Structure 1
C-alpha cells in the first residue's frame, strides 16, 4: 500500500523480492495508494509495482489485484483511509466512464495487458448498479480483466450488483475485501460515509452473506491493525474501545505464549484457518516485518487454542 510513498523504492523492491523468493504469488494494490500520505491523487504504488515487474522480468506467475473508485479527482490534502471517504471528498466514484478509464490507467502504470483481479474500491448508495455491472462485464469480455471484486460496500449492495449480473448473464463480484482482524471493531459508530456505521469493516451480516455464498472469497485488509498488536506507539482507535477488546487481547497473548509465536502471527493463523477461510493482506515496511508474517503460514493452532480465541468476548 505504501510502496512508492512512505516506503522508498529500494526497500519496496527488497520486500517484493523476498516475498517472491518465499513463494508469494499474490500482490494487492489500488489506483489511489497512497494519496493520504502525500496529498496526491495516488498511483504511486501501482507505478512502483510496474517498475519492479519490468526490472525483474515478472510475468503472469504473479497475480496482481487493484482497485478503482476511490481515487481523488484532484490533488488534495490527506483525508484518511479509503473506507471513510464520503462523496463530498471529491473521489472518482464507480461508473462506466471511471471503470473504462481508470482500469486502462492502472494497466499502464502496472505494465500489464490484463488485470487479474479488479475491485470496485468503495460503494455509494446511489451508485448506477446496472451501468457498473455492464461496464465491468465488458472488461472481462474483452480480456483486460480476469476476476471482479468489491471492497467497502454494504452487503445489500453486493447482493444487488451480483443479482443484476446473474440476471444479465454477466460476471459478478467473486472476491470481497474488507477490514477484518481478531479484535472486533464496533460497526455501529456513525462514519463520514454513513450514519449507519462503518461500511468497510467485516460485520456479522457480511460473514453470514459469505457463509451463504460459498463461491465468494473474503480478503481481509489491515489484519494487523497497523502494528497495534505489538507496538505501544500504535494505539487502537475508538472503534475498539469496548469490553471485548481486553478480553480478546488477553486470550491472544495467552495463545502467543503457548505457541512461542508473536501476537501478529497468531492473528494471521487464526484468520487463515477459521471456519470461513479468510485471506489476510499484510503490509510490510521492512523485510523483517515480512518475515514475521511469512512465518505465520506454518503456525497451526490447536482446536483448544482456536476455541480459546473464539470464546473471548
Structure 2
C-alpha cells in the first residue's frame, strides 16, 4: 500500500501482544462466531448461529488459510451453534496444535435460535468447560472467558468456578466479556484477568474506559464487531472520514478502521470474522498499515461520543 507523503511520519504500533506471560500472538485475530449454518444465514445482528456450517470443507480451508496468513488467535464459544463452532475450529486447527491459541467462552445458554440467555451457575460453567475441552480435543483450554456476568450469582462465584478449572490444570488463562472497569477490578481480586472481550468499534466507543484500563494493566482487549462504523454518514462522521483516510493510504475503509483500532491501544487485538478468503487477507493486511498522527487524530475526533 502506498502512503501519502503529504502527511507527517507514520505512527507505529506493536505487532504482537503476550497474553499472560507465555502466549505471544500477532495483534490480528479471527472471530469464528459466524461460521455456522448456510453462508446466506450469517449476515446481520440477528443471524441464528444455530447449526453446524453447511460448507464445512470451505470453512476448514478458510481457518487454515488464516493460519497461513499469520493469524494465531481464534475466538469461539460453547454457545455458537450449540458447540458445533468449537468442533469445526478444532478440526481445522488440529494440524497447528501448539502454534495457535484458541479462546472459548462459557456462560450463555441457547434455548432457541433467537435466544441468548446468560447463565452463570458455577456448576454449569464448569460443566460447559468440560464439554468444551472434549469438543476442542484438548486437555487444557488456552483461554476461557466468562461470556457474560450473570446478575443472579455473585461475580466471585462465577469467576471462582473458572479459577477452579485453572487450578485443576484445565484452563491456562481466564478472561471476561462485556464488562465494566469495576467488574474487571473485582474479578482481578480473585484471578488474573488476561483478556476482556467487549463490543467496540468506530460507531460504538462506550467502552473507551475499559480499553484504557486494559492497556494500563497489560490486559488484551478483544473488540468484537470491530468493523461496524455506525450510521454516522455525515461529512464529519466516521464513515466519511475513514473513507477519506483510506484513499490517502491506498487502503480499504475496513483496513483503515482496523488500523485505527490497533493504534488506539497497544493491547487491542481485533477479531474480525468473515467467510471470505479475500476479506480474510484484507483484514490481516491491516496489521501492517501505518496511520500518521494526523490521520489517527482525524478519525479519533470523528468517532468520539462528543463528536458523534
Bin for the TM-score computed over the shorter chain: 0.7 to 0.9
Specify the alignment match of 1:78 in structure 2: 114
Contact 1:183 1:245 in 2 (8 A): no
RMSD: 2.2
After the TM superposition, which residues 1-150 of structure 1 pair with which residues of structure 2 at under 5 Å, given as runs?
1-7=33-39, 8-34=55-81, 42-54=82-94, 57-72=95-110, 74=111, 76-79=112-115, 85=116, 89=117, 91=118, 93-150=119-176
Find the aligned partners of 1:46 and 1:109 in 2 and give their Cα distance. Answer: 6
Distance 2:265 2:68 in 1: 30
Match of 1:207 among 192, 207, 211: 211
Bigger relative contact order (CA 8 A; separation at least 6): 2
- Taking structure 1 as the reference length, the TM-score comes to 0.75
Question: Is contact 2:64–2:93 with CA below 8 Å preserved after alignment?
Answer: no
Number of residue pairs aligned between Structure 1 and Structure 2: 256
Contact 2:232 2:238 in 1 (8 A): no
Cα displacement (A) at 1:311: 2.0
Once the 2 structures are TM-superposed, how far is the Cα of residue 172 of structure 1 from its aligned partner? Answer: 2.9
Alignment partner of 1:267 is 2:244: no
The SS at the match of 1:280 is coil
1:96–1:219 CA distance, 2 compared to 1 (3 A): same
Q: Return the offset for 1:244.
A: 8.0
Residue 173 of structure 1: aligned partner: 193
Inter-CA distance 242–284: structure 2 relative to 1 (3 Å threshold): closer
Question: Which residue is equivalent to 2:273?
Answer: 283
1:82-101 deviation line (CA, Å, top 9, x unaligned): xxx5xxx4x4x123212211
Give unmatched runs, 5+ long, in structure 2.
1-32, 40-54
Partner Cα separation in structure 2 for residue 31 and residue 155 of structure 1: 25
Aligned to 2:245: 255
Query: Structure 1: where are the runs of 5+ without partners?
Result: 35-41, 80-84, 166-170, 186-201, 230-239
How many angstroms does 1:246 deviate by? 5.5
